[in-house]
A = this chain, B = another copy of it.
Amino acid sequence: MPWTKVYTEKTDLKDTLAGEGLRALSYRDALKEAQTQLLRSDESVFLLGEGVDDTGGIFGSTLGLWKEFGKDRVMDLPIAENGMTGVAIGAAMAGMKPIFVHMRMDFLPMCMDQLINHAAKWNYMTGGKVNVPLVVRSIIGRGWGSAAQHSQALHGLFMHIPGLKIAMPSTPYDAKGLLMEAVNDGNPVMFIEHRWVYDYIGYVPEEPYTVPFGKGIIRRPGKDVTVVALSVMVYEAIKAAKTLEAEGIDIEVIDPRTLNPFDDALVIESVKKTGRLVIADVACKTGGVGAEIACRVAESAHEYLKAPVRRVNFPDTPTPCSPVLEEAYYPDAGSIVKAVKELIR
């Protein structure tokens, strides 16, 4: 189905899709379209963030939106992440649906207090009386020697906090559908985008639609090894699948799409079939999402596991600047191929 399909080449897909009579959009434009439609249809929605109204427009994903909706609804902010997150939470409690945008996830440690101690706990602490429909968009992904403070992916931290939902779209279709779902979910949602898929193109319907939370998707069926891939690693896994296919190894690529809720059943079913598990994440290894997924499998499908599990991650170091070190830091399709082969021998 076109909305499940992952296109691994950035270019020329527009024509391919057009040939099939399908509307093609980049991930960036899918995000922008979702926000445009939300802003148009719901007065309580507004965007806020440092630079949402500027000439960069958050890597293009909010570009020019202020012209249609004004600077009150596409609101630039002081550099004061914790306070401003509190402001967004307060507004959300009072019935607004703010979308708070951070150009880099590295700035979220500034507002952990409002996210962890406030947004995440509010519905529970008030006995369900007051909910916080806040979406926090943040962008991860390798920069240009951006080094330790401008390249982090911290979604693993949020998975440990009850009360936060986490979406991690990999395709343009999901970017739009999950964002439209997130804004109307009624809960704080950490919405984590990857900069390196912003240019990727895929099928995106024009009309508004939602992608439900907690439903993962098999991006490529296979029988030998289950590869759970997050965000841009979905593309790397598809590439790895091609390489491995040539060697007769048939991997199943699962994209969980949301981390909380997490589609346990899909992963467990797959592992029951393949007996082998690799998790490919875009973050440091220890204490990350991969550990949680592996642990759930070890809890629920232990008897089906025919081999050790493998994680594909950044090493447990801060991000270096130097190009040679940066190159060594980031895993890719080759890393997945390597991990899979370790399980197959």
Q: Which residues of B contact A161 (CB under 8 A)?
A: 284, 287
Q: How long is the Cα–Cα vector from A294 to B291 in the complex, in angstroms? A: 8
Asked if residues B302 and A309 are in contact (CB atoms below 8 Å), the reply is yes
Copies, count: 2
Q: Does A320 contact B (CB under 8 A)?
A: yes
Asked if residues A163 and B299 are in contact (CB atoms below 8 Å), the reply is: no
A317 B149 Cβ-Cβ under 8 A = no
Looking at the assembled complex, report how far the CB atom of A191 sits from the nearest CB atom of chain B, in whole angstroms.
18
Which residues on B sit within 8 Å (CB–CB) of A289?
A: 287
Residues of B near A300 (CB, < 8 A) are 308
Complex CA–CA separation, A216 to B144 (angstroms): 40
Seen from chain A, the residues whose Cβ lies within 8 Å of a Cβ on chain B are 82, 106, 109-110, 112-113, 115-117, 120-121, 124-125, 147-149, 154, 156-157, 159-163, 260, 283-284, 286-292, 294-295, 297-300, 302-303, 305, 307-311, 315-318, 320
What are 19 A-to-B residue pairs whose CB atoms are below 8 Å?
A: A106-B117, A117-B149, A124-B148, A125-B147, A125-B148, A125-B318, A157-B157, A160-B286, A160-B287, A160-B288, A291-B295, A298-B298, A299-B308, A299-B309, A299-B310, A300-B308, A302-B305, A302-B307, A302-B309
